[in-house]
Amino acid sequence: MGKKLLIVDDEAHIRMLIEQTLEELEDEGVEFLTAENGEQALGIIQSENPELVFLDVMMPKMNGMEVCRRVKKELLLDKVFIVLLTAKGQELDRLKGQEVGADIYMTKPFDPEVILAKAREVLGL
């Protein structure tokens, strides 16, 4: 069974950028899913159960912190590895991210090699 990866960002160009960064994983059988807001993301996480989620914090309908909290604290989906992406590197956000159960926290602009390496590690490739 192939592994699934979900990219969540309300900005299409960022979703595209992350997909391009990770495109070589597609050759290794990883299926890419995308969502443009938190509500959509939550639905996909529940129906598709991706192993890895790159989740933007600032989004309409439901922000990344709330999505993360629901996934980790309410649905108790521990196997879903969540990388919170944010444009602000503020310590407060980092703490909030830890509180809601984010596995790691990355700030934009991110280093493509770091994202790819992290994805490989999490997906066991």
Residues with Cβ within 8 Å of 39's Cβ and at least 6 positions away in sequence, in order, are: 61, 62
Average pLDDT over residues 5-28: 95
Report domain 4-123's class.
Answer: alpha beta
pLDDT at site 89: 66
The alpha carbon torsion through 102, 106, 107, 112 (nearest 10 deg) reads: -150
Q: Where residue 7 falls among pLDDT bands split at 50, 70, 90? A: very high
**pLDDT for 45:** 98
In the prediction, which pLDDT does 3 show?
A: 96
Q: What is the mean pLDDT of residues 20-30?
A: 95
Region at 37 (left for phi over 0; alpha for psi -120 to 50; beta for the rest): beta
Q: Read off the tokens for 26.
A: 């597609």
Encoding tokens for residue 89? Answer: 């590197």
pLDDT mean over 92-121: 90
Determine if residue 61 is left, alpha or beta; phi over 0 gives left, psi from -120 to 50 gives alpha, anything else beta. left
In this prediction, residues 55-72 reach a mean pLDDT of 94
The pLDDT of residue 1? 63
Q: What average pLDDT does this structure show over 60-72?
A: 95
Question: How does residue 87 score in pLDDT terms, banded at 50, 70 and 90?
Answer: confident
Domain boundaries along the sequence of the chain: 4-123
pLDDT at residue 37 in the model: 97
Tokens representing 104? Answer: 């790691």
Question: Do residues 93 and 86 make contact, with C-beta atoms less than 8 angstroms apart?
Answer: yes
pTM for the full predicted model: 0.94
